[in-house]
Structure 1
Amino acid sequence: MKVGIDIGKGARGAPAMMDLEELLATRLLVQGNSGSGKSHLLRRLLEQSAPWVQQCIIDPEGDFVTLADRFGHVVVDAARTEAELVRIAGRIRQHRVSVVVNLEGLDADQQMKAAAAFLNGMFDAEREFWFPVLVVVDEAQLFAPAAAGEVSDEARRVSLAAMTNLMCRGRKRGLAGVIATQRLAKLAKNVAAEASNFLMGRTFLDIDMARAADLLGMDRRQAEQFRDLQRGSFVALGPALSRRPMPVTIGDVETSARSVSPKLMPLPETSEEAREAIFQRGPEEIRQPARRYTPPPPTPTADILEQLSKPRETAEETSQPLFPEIDTVERERLLTLVMSEIADDPELPFRTPAVLYQDFLVRCRIRRVPGDAVDLPDFKRRLAIARTGVSPETAQGETWRIALDLSKGLAEDIQPIFLIIALAAVEGRPCPANLALARAYGSHSANRARRLLTYFEERDLIVVRTDLTGKRIVVFPDLGCETAPDQPDRADEATLPREAAE
């Protein structure tokens, strides 16, 4: 259903209409200096769209709580625990209730954490409750700052992640972000870049004017017009507004903010009574007892010594670990089993590391491997070792440990080849044939295997020699061992196509 909402007057006094359905799909960014009319614009948008779509307003100053009296929004006081905010956000999506999240009275850190918790609660709602919601964030630069400020790193991280989820991934979950900021330079670029609709108000700094003009597709000379915009006037662009930059004057609103712009008032005449009242104590102040700081009595030395002499083991014995301990031996056994299953796949050399890693994670879940998942670099290293098929007895030896250390300086894709040859030397087996090495590398070219051996030799890792019968022997000087003479693979090469043998 297509719904157009009237936000004011456009060019030549014609109504400026915003396609609400298109807005839900493409998001909106509002920019303007303090006093340019951003909050008035947001209020007009919220009032006009209230009958058509569920709304959630992140309100850092408590200006939008007056919507509750006229349009039935539920005011959620953010002075709660993060777990409570997450639960409330989930219920709001379930029951499709419009809300105003009032962050007034919280410090900057608490505001960022509370907003992040509420947005994450809406984002993580069950799929069956992914109804469309217009999520309006006033003063968005507070919740998605472009640079670190006086707030803690943790608060900035969680808040920026929640805002990024809202603008980048929220559309598929029904969340349409509408963010307003005083300065584009203060807003994180990855958050601002996801908006396709823009309403640019009055601004004075060159960097903000240039960035606003760039977003609207205007040249630098046209950017000067942002200085001359009146309060409540904006330049609109976007699929929900206009395909070309269009001046818009925001219309009137039905509700008003609790905070108002300062007005000039004449000062009263200063009389002698007023002068005396400033310094004279009133009756109520006289009745109040004078507050004097009384320091607490000092702790007796005997009590301090008794506290210090108490053993800490008593407290440690009663405390219970937050998470159950992980049996590292059992974890390694299961990981080795999973890696062996993957290494036995005959098509392993011809599958990409990303596909193999996903297969590995699935197998770990099937085997119930405890602990955190192995990351990709660790997986590649474990896979290179598993592909050699080294026995537990050989793996415990000092020679094999040196071979593993030598392989760390090689690229990840050729580490398995080096270790396969090294294992043959450690166990005194013949050097693998060229075609076997080529297949282990994911190729059918015997020349590729020869080039790998040449590369290892150039790195002073191996020395290739031949015996009296012309058979190849690979010597590992650092390991103090060498392979047995290889088995020639000329017969195998003769059966391959010419381009594969070359």
Structure 2
Amino acid sequence: MTFQVDMGLDTGGQPVPIDLEELLATRLLVQGNSGSGKSHLLRRLLERSAGQVQQIIIDPEGDFVTLADAYGHIAISAADYSVGEIARFGTRIREHRSSVVLDLEGLEMEGQMRCAAAFLSALFDAPREHWFPALVVVDEAQVFAPSMGAEVTEEVRRASLGAMTNLMCRGRKRGLAGIIATQRLAKLAKNVAAEASNFLMGRTFLDIDMARAADLLGMERRQAEQIRDLPRGTFLALGPAVSRRPVSIKVGSVETGSRGGGPVLTPLPSAPTGEMKQLLLLGLEEPMPTPPPAPRPAPAAKVIDRIAADSVPDPVPEVPRHTAEELAAVVRDVLSAIVEDPDSTARPAAILYQDFQVRCRMVGVSPAPLDPSGFARRLAAARAGILDGLDGDWAEAIATAHELPDEMLGAFLLVAKAAREGLPCPSDAEIAQTYGTSSLGRARRVLSYIEGRNLFVTRIDLAGKRSVTIPTLGWTTQPADAG
């Protein structure tokens, strides 16, 4: 069975098809500068072959997610998942033969390369019984298979380049037909580009790119000049799936479009220059605040009278008896005052316990309602934002963390509070402050220690955001930046 994909018209107005079955066996390389129409060409090929073969699209700019509504593709935003989840997703789509768009928009280059490497490797490593034919389209292929060192770690570059090489060199036996598009051939690894047998070359201007394109098309160097003059949306095609001789194709229309679209001229505002300047500068020149007048010194006689009044000892008040509710309120208020003191984060619990006793005596409570051990745990909870006691769910959380040292309880409860309320995961700086240190490295070691006791499960998604789950309690924080 074969299927002809109508790509457009040649210079004589005749349709130029691509043989889909031949394409699956021989792969395709598309090259053209930005604005030459590469995405339009890929969209035409995908739309016209939809329903005939499984389509898998690696989309670094989010241009092809619109295929989901019109043709039933599954659009997945990679930034919402971890590398392991993306790999498992790649394995499943080979089993179920689903057409998908892996949207990498929102990730930095290293995250895109790491994600693409895991995804392509999962497609390549699928079990033999799942080796069904599929078109694997990789837009901006020079990102994932750079010819020279990219601004990423060597580990990530090797993984991404290796996955792209496997796709183009060894993917055919596994049913994977690589279709790669690049802005510049000079930036694409040669061992990846060399495995394609079909070429569609669009407009390009640099001599080195024109020379490589002419070599791939079997043209003489002097004929390469015509590549510079190609109109937008016109490509020179060669290959067993298209034509045995170079042929010019004007790519036909498409039914879907990218989310952003191209730039469109719109009229400039017609406001007069003076009014526009006034509007743009409105409120920029704020007046400087006037400093308050310096207070006048008090007369010497009043100062002497005040010192004399302060030196008279106050009568010793009668010690009142307090209810449990009143004592709980005192403990809450005193702990709140201690935690709000910025200097308290650098003081150990033993020193702060003395401060706690003094503050309790100042409000008429003596002896202090908490012993040193109880104070250390309530202080840890207060630093985590828990001031109303450790009953109910918090009693269960305390029981879960009974093996932790007292000084680590605050970090545990800070994360537990965020997880219980569905808030973003606390940052390293917040954990360090709760732990009583300014070292972010020490805060990360505390999290690692707690995770090593199987109390936390930490997950880092592809956007670099951290979330923490407490398995015994069933609580999970929202993802947030760790810095």
Q: If the length of structure 1 is used for normalisation, what is the TM-score? A: 0.57
User: 2: distance between equivalents of 1:19 and 1:231?
Assistant: 24
Relative to structure 1, the CA distance from residue 27 to residue 275 in structure 2 (aligned partners, 3 Å threshold; closer, same or farther) is same
User: 1: distance between equivalents of 2:243 and 2:63?
Assistant: 29
Relative to structure 1, the CA distance from residue 296 to residue 158 in structure 2 (aligned partners, 3 Å threshold; closer, same or farther) is farther
1:22 has 2:31 as partner: no
Q: CA deviation at 1:61?
A: 0.6
1:62 has 2:62 as partner: yes
Relative to structure 1, the CA distance from residue 303 to residue 188 in structure 2 (aligned partners, 3 Å threshold; closer, same or farther) is farther
The Cα offsets for residues 246-277 of structure 1, whole Å up to 9 and x where unpaired, read as 11110000111112221222311234554444
Partner of 1:205: 206
User: 2: distance between equivalents of 1:162 and 1:299?
Assistant: 53
Relative to structure 1, the CA distance from residue 229 to residue 107 in structure 2 (aligned partners, 3 Å threshold; closer, same or farther) is same
Q: CA deviation at 1:300?
A: 5.3
1:221 aligns to what SS in structure 2?
helix
1:229 aligns to what SS in structure 2?
coil
Partner of 1:101: 102
1:247 has 2:248 as partner: yes
Kindly report which structure 2 residues correspond to 1:48-447, keeping only aligned pairs within 5 A, or say none: 48-79=48-79, 80-271=81-272, 274-280=276-282, 297=342, 302-303=347-348
User: 1: distance between equivalents of 2:248 and 2:48?
Assistant: 19
User: 2: distance between equivalents of 1:23 and 1:274?
Assistant: 57
Q: CA deviation at 1:187?
A: 0.3
The Cα offsets for residues 149-188 of structure 1, whole Å up to 9 and x where unpaired, read as 2222222111111111111111111110000000000001
- The amino acid of 2:112's aligned partner reads Q
Unaligned segments of structure 2, at least 5 residues: 285-339, 352-406, 408-435, 454-483
1:4 has 2:4 as partner: yes
User: 2: distance between equivalents of 1:261 and 1:319?
Assistant: 51
- The amino acid of 1:154's aligned partner reads E
1:12 aligns to what SS in structure 2?
coil
2:271 aligns to what SS in structure 1?
coil
User: 2: distance between equivalents of 1:151 and 1:258?
Assistant: 28
Q: What RMSD, in angstroms, separates the aligned Cα atoms of the two structures?
A: 2.8
The Cα offsets for residues 122-141 of structure 1, whole Å up to 9 and x where unpaired, read as 11111111100100001100
Q: CA deviation at 1:118?
A: 1.1
Partner of 1:418: none
Q: CA deviation at 1:242?
A: 0.5
Q: Percent identity?
A: 64
2:12 aligns to what SS in structure 1?
helix
User: 1: distance between equivalents of 2:27 and 2:345?
Assistant: 65
Relative to structure 1, the CA distance from residue 199 to residue 269 in structure 2 (aligned partners, 3 Å threshold; closer, same or farther) is same
- The amino acid of 2:54's aligned partner reads Q
Relative to structure 1, the CA distance from residue 7 to residue 277 in structure 2 (aligned partners, 3 Å threshold; closer, same or farther) is same
The Cα offsets for residues 276-304 of structure 1, whole Å up to 9 and x where unpaired, read as 4434479xxxxxxxxxxxx9935755549
Partner of 1:464: none
1:61 aligns to what SS in structure 2?
coil
Q: CA deviation at 1:30?
A: 0.2
User: 2: distance between equivalents of 1:300 and 1:6?
Assistant: 70
Q: If the length of structure 2 is used for normalisation, what is the TM-score? A: 0.59
User: 2: distance between equivalents of 1:158 and 1:296?
Assistant: 50
- The amino acid of 2:243's aligned partner reads S
User: 2: distance between equivalents of 1:179 and 1:223?
Assistant: 22
Relative to structure 1, the CA distance from residue 38 to residue 299 in structure 2 (aligned partners, 3 Å threshold; closer, same or farther) is farther
User: 2: distance between equivalents of 1:86 and 1:73?
Assistant: 18
User: 1: distance between equivalents of 2:346 and 2:149?
Assistant: 46
Relative to structure 1, the CA distance from residue 157 to residue 299 in structure 2 (aligned partners, 3 Å threshold; closer, same or farther) is farther
1:13 aligns to what SS in structure 2?
coil
Aligned length: 305
- The amino acid of 2:155's aligned partner reads E
2:181 aligns to what SS in structure 1?
strand
User: 2: distance between equivalents of 1:252 and 1:102?
Assistant: 24
1:90 aligns to what SS in structure 2?
helix
